[in-house]
Structure 1
């Protein structure tokens, strides 16, 4: 039996991981799906990256979780990297699912193409709380391209605005991911076009982990909606000893 903590990406909450968590629980494991500070519907959208990281580190501490397999999806890769730097003694393995892998001093916007930065800047400038929301056409075509039109709409309706400071704040690390003495895995969904595949997740970002286990699986950036059972199986493969 293992303990998994699944950390969601931007615009999501932990509740949206529950369909993925259940098959892992059914296999005999413990699974937690916390929501990062700033991503609960009622949270202030002024949350920065340091506070977001602290919220998950505090979740591990307050629940006295040790020997954790900590997964981060997309933006969640920024968060789990910071958590691993702060409380490495609580973590057995990091799993990055099509996730950002930052080195010290990098922000998320350093790892996305310029047209995304321009989009996020424009959207946040029109928001009273500096939040960003992903336009539906991008969600439908690039994020959940393996789902039906109905699933794309119903899943989009569950998203909420994201605090933009977490994209622009640089991360502060005492060691880069490749230097961390923790097991690391990278799950790569091969049809993921949330980033252009010329600037894709793997191998551009995965190779920043140093030594890592690669698990590849068909699917989009939002496999948690389109095939949660397949994603759960990939997570257990990535998390095994």
Structure 2
């Protein structure tokens, strides 16, 4: 139901198989990093630093549940990181679809408090970006860094629907009216074109079997985000440039349209789409999230 290949991956991994051919991935090769910054042993030889161990809380988006992260979580855990994947109200095993954005936020806040999680990397994907915005307002002292992966970063007073192209918003409104429980179920053709556009047809059909109707109300609620924009928590944005959920340019898109709202942030870029890599390349996605999260 949720296939992935966990493998035995290193993070950071200097021999990562998805680095373009002829290039060498080095976790310290970012702009501004020069050879004399490498730590030295007592003999003066240069050595790589040990991978940092982090605590992740991964928050899924719409039309998904906690299983969305199974492959990525397995890779991160295999390297000694601690990973939590909360499932929020109206999703997964919760049959009640009459939820609000505040109820969804409370699910994640309560999860973090009940487990007494501290110094966490809070990751939000897609709609999950709006969730971690609100969660951060309530537990800022527990968060080490916020990471948005192709995620909505709403302005104060906006709803997610405000950021959709008119045609997409109209489609969602029509699907909402057609339901008998105020949900939106994506037709396969829409899911295929927007969410898994780089997947094979067979994979897209397999992924679609886990798609469930999404509670509509939270997507159309205007959010008060004044407190979020006063927070000094470090932030990162992971942008996959083949993600087709939002159109590129024309006042839409993930980066820079959404990402720039974070102010000072770290940008990590990948070549995937909105859903596919969680199933087909979990180690690749885990690498990008790790890069966005480490000190």
| TM-score, normalised with respect to structure 1 | 0.97
Q: How far apart in 2 are the matches of 1:93 and 1:239?
A: 7
Instruction: Choose which of 227, 234, 237 in structure 2 pairs with 1:183.
Output: 234
Listed as ranges, the gaps of 5+ residues in structure 1 are none
SS class of match (2:141)? helix
1:197 aligned residue: 248
Q: CA deviation at 1:152?
A: 0.5
Q: How far apart in 2 are the matches of 1:123 and 1:138?
A: 12
Higher Cα Rg: structure 1 or 2?
2
1:49 aligned residue: 101
2:205 aligned residue: 153
Are 2:291 and 1:237 aligned? yes
Q: How far apart in 2 are the matches of 1:59 and 1:176?
A: 20
Are 2:153 and 1:101 aligned? yes
Q: Which has the higher contact order (CA 8 A, sep 6+)?
A: 1
Q: CA deviation at 1:189?
A: 0.3
Are 2:137 and 1:76 aligned? no
Listed as ranges, the gaps of 5+ residues in structure 2 are 1-52
Q: CA deviation at 1:102?
A: 1.3
Q: CA deviation at 1:41?
A: 4.1
1:98-151 Cα deviation digits (max 9, x unpaired): 000012211100111111111111001011110011121121122111111111
Q: How far apart in 1 are the matches of 2:280 and 2:269?
A: 16
Q: CA deviation at 1:176?
A: 3.8
Q: CA deviation at 1:171?
A: 1.4
SS class of match (2:176)? helix
Q: How far apart in 2 are the matches of 1:176 and 1:33?
A: 22
1:60-88 Cα deviation digits (max 9, x unpaired): 00111011100000000010000001110
The aligned runs of 1:104-119 (5 Å cut-off) are 104-119=156-171
- Contact preservation (8 Å) 2:188, 2:208: yes
Q: CA deviation at 1:36?
A: 1.5
More helix by share: 1
The aligned runs of 1:23-42 (5 Å cut-off) are 23-42=75-94
1:189-229 Cα deviation digits (max 9, x unpaired): 01111111122100000000000000001111112123211
- Contact preservation (8 Å) 1:93, 1:239: yes
Q: Over the residues paired in the alignment, what is the CA RMSD in angstroms?
A: 1.1
SS class of match (1:151)? helix
- Moved runs in structure 1, 4+ residues, more than 6 A? none
SS class of match (1:197)? coil
Instruction: Choose which of 219, 240, 261 in structure 2 pairs with 1:208.
Output: 261
